[in-house]
Amino acid sequence: AENKLRLALELTANSEEAMERLREALSKAWMESDASLLREQDTQERLQEVMIKCEGLESKEVKKQDDTSEFGHLAKYKNIILRERDRLNGEVIDLEKRLQFQRYYSESLEYINKNNEESMSKLNANLRMLETEKGNFEIKIRSLQNNLDDQKEINTRTALKMESVNRELTETQKKLAKKIADYDQQKHILEKLRNDNAINTRQLLKNDEEITELRKEQRDNEEIIRTLRLEDKVKANTIGQLTKKYKKTLQDHSSISSKLYKLNRLNHTLGEDISRLKNQINALEKDLLNSTYKFDELRRVKENLQHEREALRNNQY
């Protein structure tokens, strides 16, 4: 949860920074556009003044001079206008090339942006899938950890029980050894004193019964010990298997965490690239509009100059 919160805060900060850069770029683009429009308006006003002056001079010369002098005076302005027309034609051709290049570049950026958005969608889907798998692995790890703790507790109780049984077995073996020693001693006495009284005989029989009972108890205790040892082996194998599964699960968890970190970094990088490409697309669209407007203005100026040229040719003839 802390990692997700940190990632969300980083993405929010990056988004705010990208928006601020976008605002600055748009403001700069508008300022450049306004400056370009002002320069274009100033050029058009100067050209209009030149045209008005040319028309005024032409009217005055018509009244004052004859046809030959009028043609020579207007020829000077005619050359100026033709040179201006040629220059504007060159600018129009250059602007058409730039307009075509900017359209091609804008289409390329849109295609790249679309591919990046599709890649980002796929990465987001993979990210969600990995987060789900990570949650499942964490649940499995907790379950295995709980099972391992339970097995350790059972093993501890079994070890304590085995220690108690071993102590009882030791005591029983001591008693058995003592009884066997007593039995051997009494049997030796019985061989020497075969004709002793019945009390010693009954005592011997009683001792035989006790020895039999103790041996039976010893066999029962040995059977219990074998059973406990088998159970201990089974539990040891179970603990070993659980330990292997736990280690493997930890390795898988580490691998998935590494992949998740790399995908988050790639997602963050693609987000920045998409924001940058969107800014470039907006700037190019702005330049495209300005170029289209300037192209239309220059085309109108070209048409006006062609009309003036035709008029001058007509006046010449």
Q: How confident is the model over 221-246, as pLDDT tens digits?
A: 778 777 777 876 777 777 778 778 76
Average pLDDT, the chain: 69
Q: Mean pLDDT throughout 251-268?
A: 73
How far apart, in whole angstroms, are the C-alpha atoms of residue 58 and residue 63? Answer: 9
**DSSP structure string for 142-211:** HHHHHHHHHHHHHHHHHHHHHHHHHHHHHHHHHHHHHHHHHHHHHHHHHHHTTT--HHHHHHHHHHHHHH
Quote the pTM value. 0.26
Highest mean pLDDT among 14-28, 95-109, 173-187 belongs to 173-187
pLDDT at 185 (0 to 100): 79
The closest alpha carbon to 37, from 214, 275, 287, 280, belongs to: 287
Residue 150 has pLDDT above 70, yes or no: yes
pLDDT at 68 (0 to 100): 42
Residue 69 has pLDDT above 60, yes or no: no
pLDDT at 9 (0 to 100): 47
Domains assigned to the chain: 2-316 (1.10.287)
Residue 65 has pLDDT above 70, yes or no: no
pLDDT at 82 (0 to 100): 76
pLDDT at 71 (0 to 100): 42
Q: Mean pLDDT throughout 262-267?
A: 73
- Out of 48-52, 131-135, 163-167, 208-212, least confident range: 48-52
